[in-house]
Amino acid sequence: MDDLTSRDDEKRLELAREQGRKEEQRIQKEREQAAEQGRKQGLDEERAREKPQGGWGMGVKLIVSLIVLAILIAVIALLTLSVSVMTPSTSYAMPFTTNYAVTFPEGQSIAIGNSRISVLSFQNELISDIDGDRQKLVIGEDRVISERRAVITTLGTITLMDTNFKINLKYKGDRDNLAYFDMAIHTSQQVPDMLLKQLLPAEIHAQPM
């Protein structure tokens, strides 16, 4: 009889221990699930915080890329500027005038458009040669480069300027082998100074007036 009671007690204890283990496993599983849910929530919150920063960073990168691209295109456009000067097929009124102070080195042939100019001082006079037509100038006298058509293009095909022009040169004297002139460029269209200077060679050192 005691043996039966003892075995029953052992079974009840074993059953209680088994239930305890199951309860502990259930609690542990719930803790792990809660911890996993907490980690996921934390990751979601972190992603939510990072999204605005990431979007801002991408925006800055895009703006920088566009600026670099614009600068690159501008440099390429500048390097591919091409000037063509020809005899005009039609004559136009020239209401726009841009004035420069220029110097011509004496004894050198200078190209302005498709005209070639050389000057040489002699006994208070200046001998000016424009396309083989020689004239003597004294201070205050003018010479004219007759009407031409100028077309400036970039990137091979894009036309930046298409205008008729003529140039008036007023002799101002000479010094140190340089002949000084006031130059007035008359054009049929309004032309930005940056483009207009493409007609003028660096040798004459044109300064806006």
Tens digit of pLDDT for each residue in 117-135?
A: 999 987 778 999 999 999 9
Determine the pLDDT at residue 20.
67
Q: Which residue has the tokens 């440099």?
A: 75
Mapped onto helix, strand or coil, the DSSP state of residue 5 is helix
Structure tokens at 104: 């011509």
What region does 113 belong to: left with phi over 0, alpha with psi -120 to 50, or beta?
left
The DSSP H or E segment spanning 89 is none
What is the spatial distance between Cα 201 and Cα 18, in angstroms, rounded to a whole number?
Answer: 102
What is the spatial distance between Cα 82 and Cα 77, in angstroms, rounded to a whole number?
Answer: 10
Determine the pLDDT at residue 143.
93
Inform me whether the pLDDT recorded for 25 exceeds 90: no
Question: Any long-range contacts for 66-71 (C-beta under 8 Å, 24+ apart)?
Answer: none
For residues 25 and 139, the model is more confident at 139
- What pTM was estimated for this model as a whole? 0.64
Structure tokens at 116: 């070639």
18-22, 47-51, 181-185: least confident range: 47-51
Question: Cβ contacts of residue 106 below 8 Å, gap of 6+?
Answer: 119, 120, 121, 174, 177, 178, 179
**pLDDT tens for each residue of 58-103:** 778 888 888 888 888 777 776 777 788 888 888 889 999 999 999 9
Q: Residues 145, 130: contact at Cβ < 8 Å?
A: yes
Count of other CB atoms within 10 angstroms of residue 119: 25
55 pLDDT tier (thresholds 50, 70, 90): low
The DSSP H or E segment spanning 19 is helix 2-79
Q: Residues 148, 115: contact at Cβ < 8 Å?
A: yes
Determine the pLDDT at residue 105.
93
Sign for the CA dihedral angle at 113, 179, 206, 172 comes to negative
